Amino acid sequence: MAPMLHSEDYFSLVALICGYISTAMSTVAVVSFGNGKHTALLSTEQQEGAIFWTTIAFCPGVLSVCLPKLAVVVLLIRILLPGSFHKCFLWTMVILCQLSFIVAISILLGRCRPTRSIWDFSVQGTCINIDILVNYGLAVTAYSAFVDFYLAVYPSVILFRIQMLLRKELAPAVPRGISATWKKVALGVALGIGANSGVVAIYKATKVASLGSPDFSHDTADLVIWTV
């Protein structure tokens, strides 16, 4: 009998698919149009292709970053059974994060009219100040890091407060020092894995300014790598 899937599994699956799509688009930008090289070394066609595929790749890439947060919240609520207030807080925090990412995508694609003028140098367009995108992207990335750290620390704090069932069952047979050690190791690993996303988000925040760089194809390379 196949194991039952929960809603967090579907969120994770969609995020994984978005990640693959973003990676494929970023690969096209690198292999076919030289993204990662200095703009001065690229032809006009390569510059346009690099900007197009990199910009489009950010859309599913951003979704692959924000959707797992929904999966984590669903899982934590199902397992830890928080109170009504804390449950509302978790949902509000993560939904605001999703909405902020959606707005970021909207600014990324809608900062110029027509949108095609972002990557097509032959099309004349009117664009907002690029600093608006950079500053908003920095704020969203910082908030995303906060959410990641909170979702990593919260279950660890709860698990420190409750009695571990395994410790109760094995108490007569396992020395207390060994049981406590394994519990600390398990919690440390869980905290480390969750906090890793927050660390990555902080690093990405240092690269957001590259979106406004004249040397777009070269300077956004790190941001693309850590997004996909």
So what's the pLDDT on residue 1?
A: 41
* pLDDT score recorded for residue 191: 55
What's the pTM?
A: 0.79
**Distance of alpha carbon 151 from the chain centroid:** 13
Structure-token match 């925040």, residue found: 205
pLDDT along the chain (228 residues), means of 10: 72 92 93 91 93 93 90 86 91 95 93 93 92 91 90 78 53 48 53 68 76 84 76
143: closest CA among 78, 208, 187, 82?
208
Length of the chain: 228
For residue 10, count other CB atoms closer than 10 A to its CB.
14
**CB-CB neighbours of 1 under 10 Å:** 3
pLDDT given for residue 194 in this prediction: 63
User: What's the CA gap between 51 and 55, in Å, rounded?
Assistant: 6
Other beta carbons less than 10 A from residue 33's beta carbon: 22
